[in-house]
Amino acid sequence: MGDVIRTDADYKKAQDKADIKRARHINMLEQQMQTKPGRQFVWWILYLLGYDQPIVDINAKVYGMNAKQAIAIQIKEELKKASRDEVYLMERENEKEAQ
């Protein structure tokens, strides 16, 4: 799985990797936001996450954690309906990146 952090240098290396990965994700999101279809997709995700709806549950933290997983599953199922082959390609691409 991940690298073992035993020293400050190991921590710095892991932090640098995380920073690079985050920068790549931000860059990808910025590219998505440059197109109308990209913005529509991002807005759809926000809508599904309840961005414009207040959370009224007493235990919002538990509600939020369960909701995120449920939304991820819902998004994946919708994407599979629209473009099954690309979803599997996306999974393979991200599996390689996680290693």
In a domain, 90, yes or no: yes
pLDDT band at 97 (very low <50, low <70, confident <90, very high): low
Q: Which domain holds residue 90?
A: 54-99
Number of domains in the chain: 1
Mean pLDDT check: name the lowest of 40-44, 61-65, 83-87, 88-92.
Answer: 61-65
Size of the chain in residues: 99
pLDDT, one tens digit per residue, over 21-79 is: 888 888 887 888 888 888 888 788 877 776 666 656 566 666 666 777 788 788 888 87
CA distance 33 to 8: 37
C-beta of residue 71 within 8 angstroms of C-beta of residue 49? yes
In a domain, 17, yes or no: no
In a domain, 20, yes or no: no
- At residue 1, the pLDDT reads 43
